Amino acid sequence: MASEEEALELFKDAAEIIPVMGDIVGFGVKLNEFVNRPGGDPMLRALGKVHGQLAALNDAVLASWVTAREDNLAFLTAHSSASLITANNYLQSGSPDGDVEWEAKKALADRDSLIAVQALIGDMNGGYWLRPQSNRAISQMGDPSRWMECMPDRAEVDSFNRVWDHRWALPATIYAITTRVAVLTAFSAADAILKSELERYLDFLGPVFRKMESGVRFKQNLSDYEINYLVIPQGRAPVAAADIYGGYSIYNIFSYQFHPYEFDGYPSYPGIAPPLLTPDPDKMLKNIKSIGQHWRDIICQQIGVADLLLIWGQLENLRVGYVP
């Protein structure tokens, strides 16, 4: 869960700085405050925490994944972070466009920020977006076999035994995109150039959002075994929801006697059980679906689906403001 919390921290910082990019004066003040916060660049710091939490998942299969992320973090530090600092220093210097002293520095920052973002959005189904298949990689919320036992949903495995995972790649991508747009804004890039790049980033993040959201599944049906187990006195049935890519999950077994009634909206959880009634599999299935959908909404919130949609909307608003 910790890596999801750190990712949300990064998303919120991005959502804070993106809206002011349309106003160069206000952006200069905000960027300076942002870069000079105690502890340094907050988004890069949050990205380092994401890496640290995922690196704690010790597993021989994941060793190469951990090493690759360490290299990627160093790459982003050298390219995106340095470019952001250069952009801020340029804005604070007050130097006019065409200043010879700054042209070489600006050209380097422009190139490096583009390299960093391009490395991450080159292929949503490859590169940094893949990890080795391992149940250990999705064990941060406990043993994944619990929800796997009652849900058939699994992440798609490619021919090299790798699966898609947004937990590292998405925060890194948001960081790189935010930095890239900040650099272009600081250097007063032509509106047509900025609009074109924003369109590419929006076109990339849209499918990422859809895949993340589609990967949050919940239990909707009972197997024959579960139905047989349910209809005995004090029958029980499992309820589960999970992000099949990142592993964030909620799982429990509910006794039928707590949910033998019709309800509107999300189910309540009374402290005192009503009298034991004869189990009704149809009613129980309805309850399972309602609870599962509720848990699915919680998981979407926790892994950053809503935050990603907010950032996408802010980038779209920025794009609309730049009409060549």
Structural domains in the chain, sorted by start: 2-140+161-215+304-320 (1.20.190), 218-300 (no CATH)
pLDDT at 166: 92
How many CB atoms neighbour CB 138 within 10 A? 27
Please list the residues that pair with 243 across neighbouring strands. Answer: 216
Amino acid 276: pLDDT: 46
Helix (H, G, I), strand (E, B) or coil at 89: helix
Query: What is the Cα–Cα distance from 71 to 60, expressed in whole angstroms?
Result: 18
Q: What is the pLDDT of residue 213?
A: 96
What pLDDT is stored for residue 275 in this prediction? 46
Q: Could you tell me which residues come within 8 angstroms of residue 41 by beta carbon, excluding any fewer than 6 positions away?
A: 34, 35, 81, 84
Per-residue pLDDT of the chain (324 residues; tens, 9 = 90+): 556 777 788 888 898 889 888 777 788 888 888 888 888 888 888 888 887 877 777 677 777 777 777 777 788 878 888 999 999 999 899 887 777 889 999 999 999 999 999 988 989 998 889 988 888 888 877 789 889 988 999 999 999 899 999 988 898 899 999 999 999 999 988 889 999 999 999 999 999 999 999 999 999 888 877 777 766 655 678 889 999 999 999 988 776 554 434 444 444 444 444 444 456 667 777 778 888 899 999 999 999 999 999 999 999 999 988 544
Q: Which residues contact 221 (CB under 8 A, 6 or more apart)?
A: 285
For position 265, what pLDDT does the model report? Answer: 44
What is the rounded CA–CA span in Å between residue 126 and residue 77?
Answer: 22
Per this entry, what is the length of the chain?
A: 324
Q: What is the pLDDT of residue 63?
A: 76
Cα–Cα distances (Å) from 285 to 226, 261, 279, 293, in that order, read 11, 12, 11, 12
Pairwise CA distance, residues 52 & 147, whole Å: 26
